[in-house]
Chain A
Amino acid sequence: MAKAIGQALKRKEDPRLITGRAKYLDDIQLPGMVYAAVLRSPYAHAKINSIDASEAESLPGVVGVFTGKDFADLNPLPCAWQAGGVNNNANTPRTLEIDKVTFTGAGVAVVVAESRYIAEDALALIHVDYEVLPVVVDAKKATEPGAPQLHENAPNNICMEWSCGDEAATDKALAEADVVIKQSLRNQRLIPTPMEPRGAIGIYSPVAEDYTVYMTSQAPHVMRLLMTAFVFGMPENKLRCISPQVGGGFGTKIFLYPEYCMVAAVSKKLGGLPVKWMETRRENYIATTHGRDHVTEFEVAAKNDGTITGLKVDTYANLGGVLSTIAPGIPTTLYGRLLSGVYKFPNIYCHVYGTYTNTGMVDAYRGAGRPEASFLVERAIDLVAQKLNMDPSEVRRVNFIPPDAFPYAPASNILNGLKYDSGEYEGALNKALELVDYKNLRQEQAAAREAGRLMGIGFSSYVEICGVAPSAWIGLPGEGWGAGLWESANVRVHLTGKVVVTTGSQSHGQGLETTMAQVAADMLGVEVDDVRVEHSDTLGTPFGYGTYGSRSAAVGTVAIHNSVQKIIEKAKKIGAHMLEAAPEDVTFEDGKVFVKGSPDKAKTIQEVALAAAVAYDLPPGTEPFLDDTTYYDPPNCTYPFGTHICVVEIDKDTGHVAIKRYLAVDDVGKKINPLIVDGQLHGGIVQGAGQALWETAVYDDNGQLISGSLTDYALPKAHWLPMIETDSTETPSPVNPLGIKGAGEAGTIASAQAVVNAVVDALAPYGITHLDMPLTSQKVWEAIHSSGNGR
């Protein structure tokens, strides 16, 4: 059969999805099920004096009402990734808050009723006596004298102070540079918005004294660990976690949330009734994690020829009212350590305050820290280009890390011992310039300017840290991650020759059931349809860390590769026995074991699997069955890269920005399925473009989320966008045997700055050098008209 790796195959998971047969969490109905609705604080900062639920309890159909005091025996949720090497003044949510709330949307009570409608009705009958406290919502203002204090253990609302790089050397570079540009910027808060909100179903068994929790999770095994060992204080094997079909996550579904604990605890209180909680979109916006939200000042130093000599960054990262599961790790490890970008900056320093504010929790959102870093670096490059009157592509070119410098350790040890694996950055830039026909485009721009039209061309040359991560690097002694970050796989070739693969990864839109099957099928020489990939249930799959950080191809699939390789070795041994040959004389190709040079007399993998399973006649000392489990800990992260070019046109009279072209040349290493890789890039690019032009989460001074619904939050729509031009270069990663770099977050990490740089380029005639996202019509119009050059 044809090689399966590299084929643009249609997805195996699609038939159930396009016919409405997939079972998402809310589609699961169980006998006796009751429905929970959570009462959430309308105040951003308040003490809870008392809660009177008696009226709600007496509403017909209400099964029970519970408040935080009912779950006082449960520990607060853990913060599993605290910033490495520094003190973290951690404060985390409880299953329901007891004494105080620090953001609108914090859960304070839950109603369980015979229907969701009755549960919602009853919420209005709960009376909470709040003592309202003063509010701060801005990451930097929270640290200033006189700001309201959120937590006793976090003076000045500082959760942690972290830095990386070499401050003294960077200061020296700034002092000695030909030019230094100082810029402040905001990387605004975003609401990730997977189309499926979160939900959970808890089922307690009074007989077995154990729990089953269905949850919309990207990492069910990790949820089991965190819920049992940290929140409930019970044996891990007393909980089974299942992620059913999950409708997107973009990071938000990595984390342990109060409601997942709540449904389990409530089911126990109700003697084992299945309890379902399903989030509304409004709840999703106030109570599920947000992303980004940095207030930053940076200085970039350069020589007159465009060579950058230093980058110094000072960031206030908003972490929200309490910490989500891995919040402090995002603006530290995943941000500061990527500030060299694709460039040989000789001196880098980054200082970060992670701060508490009276806003919703902020945690990983697609890219998670890396888009913020990449945005800053690419804005810095353009500022230098503008200052020195150089072409932005040339400033990139003179600063690129050259291909012969790999493996490359970014300067000032900002990557803390790791090295970029491989890269051909100029190759991607050149290809993008050629495809976009850069020379002509600049001529077109000049002509447009002559005609009084505003056209802009924006670049983004990016690298990302993918395939997270070597456990010894990211773990507690290094970067503060409270566990390992390897991935598991189990591969079995059953008696009938059909293959079952289990993975600790979790597919929630990535198409892993297809790509992982392609790898196993390719290596075993069987049909892709003969491989079934199972995941997302802690029953029947080995522990795994789940899907995020663009790790399921570069780590999860490599675990499968390694197991298949071991199965092939065993198949060769059994096959040799069947062929009455010496094991060292046989080879395995295209699904067959044969004596080297005699492919005509071969045993197929199916024949070998049957022999291995029935075990009537195996070589002495051979265990039955073709079955192997791998725990693959990557020796390094992987580093995809590329260059994106965006072309915009701005309507002078309205400030409206239209993306005319978006061209992406990405290098994700070897591709398993180009159709799926392109799809990941399209979606990622549009999420970054959404940040650049439209999306922003806005809290008012009282801590109310003004953009709290889909009518107020500008999620990109079909008619706002052009078709996206994608192309690629291929530089295999030497980190893993498949040469994969990963593709899940690349688009988002690359795109916001390509769009913003294009807009700033278009507005250059007005002397504009920077605008903070989102670049709405109003903001652009105001910038034109306050520039002194506007009409």
Chain B
Amino acid sequence: MAEITVTVNGKSYTRDVEPRLLLVHFIRDVLGLTGTNIGCETSVCGACTILMDGQAVKSCTQLAVQADGSSVTTIEGLASNGDLHPVQEGFWEKHGLQCGYCTPGMIMASVDLLQSNANPTEDEIRHGLEGNLCRCTGYHNIVKAVQYAAEKMQGGN
């Protein structure tokens, strides 16, 4: 077992974990934050995307021990004081989700995308989200959701 300390959604957790424990299982099973979903084991689907030290990572292909000393944000930590993050709001406003299973990962990836490109084109949004799969929406309304968020974060709307 290895002792790790990880800050998740602003709260510090110190836990003993098996070295082989995946970060996504640490988040879900050890900390009980089940908003982050698992859709594959090949790092393709992106359902498990979280922010680690501000950057989007797929938590199914990180070991928990690799997160030692890191600061992690999951979908549960995105809204502040009950106010939805503009990306969350965009997904709701633009019907950017149906079954919702890819949504936490899709939202976290979108947050990362807008951090590095505040005003992306449609093409940039589509490429920015190519690591996240959705089977319900055909991506149409996801693109619109991210466009909504981009506008809102720049003070529009």
Q: Which of A13-21, A262-270, A486-494, A765-773 contacts B (4 or more CB under 8 A)?
A: A13-21
Report chain A residues within 8 Å CB of B130: 717-719
- Asked whether any CB of chain B lies closer than 8 Å to the CB of A706, the reply is no
Given A18-B91, A18-B103, A718 contacting B139 (CB threshold 8 A): yes
Which residue on A lies nearest to B123, using beta carbons?
A: A719
| In the assembled complex, B51 has its CB within 8 A of some CB on chain A | no
Which of the segments A24-32, A91-99, A440-448 contacts the partner chain?
Answer: A24-32
B34–A18 touching, CB < 8 Å: no
Tell whether B135 is near chain A: CB-to-CB under 8 Å. Answer: yes
Indicate whether A676 reaches chain B with its CB closer than 8 angstroms.
yes
Most buried by B among A248, A250, A508, A687: A248
Q: How far is the CB of B91 from chain A (nearest CB, A)?
A: 5
Q: Does B3 contact A (CB under 8 A)?
A: no
Q: Is B53 an interface residue (CB 8 A)?
A: no
> Given A13, A23, A509, A709, which contacts B136 in the complex, CB threshold below 8 Å?
A509
Q: Kindly name the residue among A19, A675, A723 whose own CB sees the greatest number of chain B CB atoms within 10 A.
A: A19
**Contact of A18 with B84 at beta-carbon distance under 8 Å, contacts A508-B99, A717-B130, A718-B125 already known:** yes
Q: Is the CB of B140 within 8 A of A282?
A: no
Check if B61 is an interface residue, CB within 8 A of chain A. no
Which of A134-142, A192-200, A290-298 lies at the interface with chain B?
A192-200
Smallest distance from the beta carbon of A116 to chain B beta carbons, Å?
8
Chain B: CB-nearest residue to A13: B100
Q: Is the interface of B mostly helix, strand, loop or mixed?
A: loop
Mark each residue of chain B from 18 to 47: 1 if its CB lies under 8 Å from any CB of chain A, else 0.
Answer: 101100000011001111111111101101
What 1/0 mask marks residues of chain B from 110 to 148 whose CB sits below 8 Å from any chain A CB?
Answer: 000000000000110111011011111111111100000
B139 (CB) vs chain A CBs: closest residue: A718
What band does the interface of chain A fall in when counting residues whose beta carbon is under 8 Å from B? 35 or more
**A248→B35 contact, CB < 8 A:** no
Find out whether the CB atom of A511 lies under 8 angstroms from the CB atom of B98: yes
Given A117-B20, A683-B138, A723-B140: A711 touches B42 (CB 8 Å cut-off): yes
B34 in contact with A27 (CB, 8 Å) = yes
Instruction: Say yes or no: A19-B102 contact (C-beta < 8 A), given A26-B34, A196-B37.
Output: no
Chain B residues with Cβ below 8 Å from A624 are none
The complex places the Cα of A715 from the Cα of B42 at a distance, in Å, of: 14
Contact A20 B104, beta carbon cutoff 8 Å: yes
Query: B34 touching A195 by the CB < 8 A rule?
Result: no
Inter-subunit contact B34/A23 (CB<8 Å):
yes
**Alpha-carbon distance between A17 and B130 when the two chains are bound, in angstroms:** 21
The residues of B that contact A716 with a CB separation of less than 8 Å are: 138-139
Q: Find A17's partner among B34, B103, B134, B140 (CB 8 Å cutoff).
A: B103
Q: Are the C-beta atoms of B126 and A719 separated by less than 8 Å?
A: yes
A508: B residues at CB distance < 8 A: 99
- Asked whether B152 is an interface residue with its Cβ less than 8 Å from the other chain, the reply is no
Closest to A21 in B: B35
A710 within 8 Å of B (CB atoms): yes
Q: In whole angstroms, how far apart are the Cα atoms of A18 and B142 in the complex? A: 13
Given A682-B141, A683-B138, A709-B42, A20:B35 Cβ within 8 A: yes
The reply to whether A724 and B92 form a contact with Cβ atoms under 8 Å apart is: no
List the 10 closest A-B pairs by CB distance, nearest first: A20-B35, A247-B101, A509-B99, A686-B138, A17-B100, A20-B75, A27-B34, A682-B138, A281-B40, A509-B98
Q: List 16 A-B contacts (CB under 8 A).
A: A15-B92, A18-B84, A18-B92, A196-B101, A248-B98, A248-B136, A250-B135, A280-B41, A281-B40, A281-B45, A511-B98, A675-B95, A679-B98, A682-B139, A710-B45, A718-B127
A contact residues vs B (CB 8 Å cutoff) = 10-11, 13-15, 17-24, 26-27, 29, 117, 193-197, 245-248, 250, 280-282, 508-511, 675-676, 678-680, 682-687, 709-711, 715-719, 721, 723-724, 747
